[in-house]
Amino acid sequence: MVALMPGITAPDVSLKSLQGGSLSLSSTLSNNKLVVLAFFKVGCPVCQFIFPYLERLHQANRDAAIWGISQDDDSSTKAFIKTYGATFPILLDERLQFTVNYGLTNVPSVFLVDRGGHVKLTSVGFVKDDLEEINQRLAASAGKPAKALFTEADNVPAARPG
């Protein structure tokens, strides 16, 4: 599966936000040590599966920049967000400009980008260990212990391909 690999400089993302205005990766990195970019499509079952865990990641790391990047239109994305309860910023990539720039062939695709703009971790599909690694890195960058993302009751598989 093609996607930006760790070590590559992430293309700058500047997209309209569902919450109003727009956000850009370069300006956000000037204020944050790490940014998580999670590309998704509303009709994707694995995207639907991962979103509650992305929300947990956001809740555990409230000061971190975690963005969902939708490949769908405004109204479909709003309905998806309402269903899956995401409270982190959601950006719209309706023209798939950044999907192409990031080399995506599958969603969900999640990237952890450092302050220098370098991809530190790339995860395609749902990979439990990757989300746990992102959680650990976000907590460490904030100087705090990581909160658990998963419980035994979740009965989460190790991976689900996108």
pTM assigned to the model:
0.94
Question: How far is residue 58 CA from its own chain's centroid?
Answer: 10
In CATH terms, the fold of domain 14-142 is Glutaredoxin (3.40.30)
What sections of 41-101 are H helices per DSSP? 45-60, 74-84, 97-101
Domain regions of the chain by residue span = 14-142
- Check whether 93 has a pLDDT greater than 70: yes
Q: What percent of the chain has pLDDT over 70?
A: 99
Q: What is the pLDDT of residues 139-156, one digit of tens each?
A: 999 999 999 999 999 999
Q: What is the pLDDT of residues 25-78, one digit of tens each?
A: 999 998 889 999 999 999 999 999 999 999 999 999 998 999 999 999 999 999
